[in-house]
Amino acid sequence: MFGTRPPGALRSAVRHGNTVRFVAPGDNWYTGKVASYRVGTAHGVVVLGAAVSAGSVETLTVPSGSVTVQAVDAAGNIGAPATFN
């Protein structure tokens, strides 16, 4: 059924300065491609587009400070959070 499975978690996630790199999840756990990434900070939320399909390395530029990144699929389902300090 469409939209019943959330995106998988970000895997092998690391942060170097303002760059976060991880193995991309899919829109249905670990298959397909998520629609976007939700980046939460102390100042609000930014939505960044997804560039790669599940299993490929995704790189995002994020603001300084603590951020939480979550994958979002086309149905609006949100994946598990990954927090970087």
Inside any domain, residue 1:
no
- Give residue 4's pLDDT: 78
Give 77's DSSP letter.
Answer: -
Q: What is the mean pLDDT of residues 19-46?
A: 96
Total domains present in the chain: 1
User: Which of 2, 69, 67, 76 is CA-nearest to residue 35?
Assistant: 76
Inside any domain, residue 18:
yes
- Give residue 1's pLDDT: 44
Inside any domain, residue 47:
yes
Q: What is the mean pLDDT of residues 16-35?
A: 96
Inside any domain, residue 6:
no
Inside any domain, residue 27:
yes
- Give residue 3's pLDDT: 64
CATH code for position 28: 2.60.40.10
Q: What is the mean pLDDT of residues 45-49?
A: 96
- Give residue 59's pLDDT: 98
Q: For residue 43, what are the domain limits?
A: 11-84
